[in-house]
């Protein structure tokens, strides 16, 4: 695609579409919108705009489409695959100011929100209603960003990814047209399901200006468990058995020993430095959970579990999850002279023990600092390698390991990216994963965005 570089006329016109203080070409604002939390190189936009309503978004997109100006949506920049880096420059639309919770309909288990609402803020607001919005990507994700990336997290094993928790969207497409997708009815068989094309499309098909999300009831009772294993492989077998037994965990995370050591160091925990499962189960009563705990204990012990600690209290549990959520940042802080690649494959759960064993093998043989942790209950594995900046040879080795892992995951019926999206880093795996369907994804892109102005350079 041929894009226009913004000239004085473009800038003047764009500036006129929003109030003066919501348009910037200042270096610090361009810098702040040039990179996410990945290792992908920054690229500065030519201008940043902060729209406050759908009318502005529509007007900007209509103009940008006519003048072939790239437009990239921006939530909070916490993505991990370069998803919102404006590699073709142009305009970044920062949705920070569209951060209103428009309506909470407790009796329908629904809320209407603007895209800039923080995941955390919605749940804070819901605290006293007994409801929550479950996808749990951690950090300061916005709901718009979560929808763009079909984000998921520790709660996905029970409550699904963002896709399963969004039922209605208002989007603006490249020409500026505003579309309503989905329904507030909990079920419908009316027409084509377009909403799911947009969820997970990383801002390449349209920009979300409003969403209706599903809420769930907070569980009456929970039980958090820490279980320690002699090897990652044994812990992986336990994960498979727990899922296979239908025990329906609300979180089932695996952390290899190097991750536990790091958490101990940073958070002053005194966890045994061994492969560990952090688990949580939800129920209507504490009594209900006791039977579940007994079954989980049996499964873990059959895999040689060396320490099984159920009944972790609320405070310690909250600290554990906070530590789990910060793990990525801890790893980055630990290696200031290195940057990271996150392998993010996911496989059907029966293949989980094999893929986790493979991850350990790669970790051992590559001779580069590696960290294995996993949304294990979903079969979603992260293996973070910290490559030395400016050492191309290390990066070749890391990329080869990534390719081997993805190839293996796809052979097992899995996916190249369980939750971080394609962005820049996973594009090369798309032909291998999707085959002929990839061409049809490109046709969908061309249909909604014929000039390719929306977040160019991503996914494909």
Q: Cβ(383)–Cβ(339) under 8 Å?
A: no
Q: Does 292 bind a copy of itself (CB under 8 A)?
A: yes
From 7, 31, 102, 105, residue interacting with a copy of itself (rule: CB under 8 A):
105
Find all residues with CB under 8 Å of 364, minimum gap 6, and list them: none
**49 is written with which tokens?**
């705009």
From 378, 386, 425, 451, residue interacting with a copy of itself (rule: CB under 8 A):
378
Whole-angstrom distance, CA of residue 456 vs CA of residue 1: 9
Residue 41: how many CB atoms within 10 A of its CB?
11
From 24, 380, 402, 455, residue interacting with a copy of itself (rule: CB under 8 A):
380
Q: Cβ(303)–Cβ(253) under 8 Å?
A: no
Of 454, 432, 423, the residue nearest 85 (C-alpha): 423
Whole-angstrom distance, CA of residue 430 vs CA of residue 423: 11
**100 is written with which tokens?**
């209103």
Q: Does 56 bind a copy of itself (CB under 8 A)?
A: no
Of 275, 416, 298, 299, the residue nearest 356 (C-alpha): 275
**219 is written with which tokens?**
């569980």
Binding to a copy of itself, residues 206-225 (CB under 8 A): 217
307-312 vs 101-105, strand pairing mode: unpaired
Whole-angstrom distance, CA of residue 136 vs CA of residue 428: 27
Binding to a copy of itself, residues 120-159 (CB under 8 A): 130, 149-152, 156
List 179's β-bridge partners, or say none: 171
C-beta of 343: minimal distance to a copy of itself in Å? 14
Q: Does 291 bind a copy of itself (CB under 8 A)?
A: yes
Our CB check for a copy of itself shows the closer of 40 and 445 to be 445
Number of residues this chain uses to bind a copy of itself (CB under 8 A)? 87
Our CB check for a copy of itself shows the closer of 11 and 438 to be 438
Binding to a copy of itself, residues 309-368 (CB under 8 A): 346-350
C-beta of 149: minimal distance to a copy of itself in Å? 6
Our CB check for a copy of itself shows the closer of 130 and 311 to be 130
Binding segment toward a copy of itself, per CB under 8 A, in 228-236, 262-270, 397-405, 407-415: 407-415
Of 347, 159, 155, 352, the residue nearest 240 (C-alpha): 352
Q: Cβ(109)–Cβ(215) under 8 Å?
A: yes
Our CB check for a copy of itself shows the closer of 221 and 261 to be 221
C-beta of 190: minimal distance to a copy of itself in Å? 5
What is the rounded end-to-end Cα distance, in angstroms, of the chain? 13
Our CB check for a copy of itself shows the closer of 17 and 247 to be 247
From 418, 452, 456, 457, residue interacting with a copy of itself (rule: CB under 8 A):
418
From 15, 68, 120, 163, residue interacting with a copy of itself (rule: CB under 8 A):
163
> Tokens 């997290």 appear where?
153
Our CB check for a copy of itself shows the closer of 91 and 126 to be 126
Indicate the helix (H) or strand (E) that contains 279.
strand 276-283
Our CB check for a copy of itself shows the closer of 233 and 433 to be 433
Q: Does 62 bind a copy of itself (CB under 8 A)?
A: no
Binding to a copy of itself, residues 183-202 (CB under 8 A): 183-197, 199-201
From 43, 78, 415, 455, residue interacting with a copy of itself (rule: CB under 8 A):
415
Q: Does 306 bind a copy of itself (CB under 8 A)?
A: no
List 381's β-bridge partners, or say none: 374
Binding segment toward a copy of itself, per CB under 8 A, in 18-26, 86-94, 106-114, 333-341: 106-114
Of 387, 388, 381, 376, the residue nearest 408 (C-alpha): 381
Binding to a copy of itself, residues 68-87 (CB under 8 A): none
């Amino acid at each position: 695609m041929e894009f226009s570089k913004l000239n004085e006329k473009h800038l003047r016109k764009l500036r006129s579409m929003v109030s003066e203080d919501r348009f910037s070409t200042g270096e610090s604002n361009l810098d702040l919108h040039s990179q996410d939390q990945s290792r992908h190189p920054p690229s500065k936009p030519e201008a940043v705009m902060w729209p406050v309503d759908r009318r502005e978004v529509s007007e900007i997109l209509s103009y940008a489409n006519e003048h072939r100006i790239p437009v990239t949506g921006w939530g909070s920049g916490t993505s991990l695959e370069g998803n919102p880096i404006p590699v073709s420059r142009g305009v970044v639309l920062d949705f920070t100011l569209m951060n209103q919770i428009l309506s909470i309909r407790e009796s329908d288990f629904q809320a209407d929100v603007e895209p800039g609402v923080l995941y955390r803020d919605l749940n804070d607001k819901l605290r006293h209603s007994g409801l929550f919005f479950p996808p749990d990507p951690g950090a300061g994700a916005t709901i718009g960003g979560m929808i763009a990336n079909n984000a998921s997290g520790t709660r996905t094993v029970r409550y699904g990814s963002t896709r399963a928790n969004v039922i209605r969207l208002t989007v603006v497409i490249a020409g500026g047209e505003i579309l309503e997708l989905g329904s507030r009815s909990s079920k419908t068989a009316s027409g084509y399901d377009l909403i799911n094309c947009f969820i997970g499309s990383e801002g390449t098909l349209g920009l979300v200006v409003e969403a209706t999300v599903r809420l769930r009831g907070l569980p009456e009772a929970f039980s958090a468990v820490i279980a320690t294993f002699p090897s990652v492989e044994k812990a992986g077998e336990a994960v498979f058995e727990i899922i296979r037994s239908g025990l329906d965990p609300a979180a089932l995370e695996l952390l290899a020993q190097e991750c536990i050591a790091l958490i101990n160091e940073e958070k002053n925990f005194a966890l045994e430095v061994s492969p560990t499962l952090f688990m949580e189960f939800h129920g209507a009563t504490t009594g209900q959970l006791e039977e579940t705990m007994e079954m989980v204990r049996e499964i873990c012990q059959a895999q040689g579990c060396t320490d099984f600690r159920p009944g972790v209290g609320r405070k310690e549990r909250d600290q554990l999850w906070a530590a789990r959520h910060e793990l990525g940042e801890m790893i980055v802080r630990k290696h200031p002279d290195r940057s990271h690649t996150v392998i993010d494959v996911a496989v059907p759960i029966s293949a989980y023990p094999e893929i986790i064993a493979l991850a350990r093998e790669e970790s051992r043989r590559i001779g580069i600092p590696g960290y294995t942790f996993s949304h294990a209950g979903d079969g979603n594995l992260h293996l973070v390698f910290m490559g030395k900046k400016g050492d191309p040879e290390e990066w070749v080795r890391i990329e080869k390991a990534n390719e081997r892992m993805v190839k293996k995951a796809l052979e097992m019926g899995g996916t190249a990216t369980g939750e971080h999206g394609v962005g820049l880093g996973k594009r090369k795996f798309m032909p291998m994963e999707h085959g002929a369907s990839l061409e049809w994804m490109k046709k969908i892109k061309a249909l909604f965005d014929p000039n390719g102005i929306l977040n160019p350079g991503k996914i494909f």
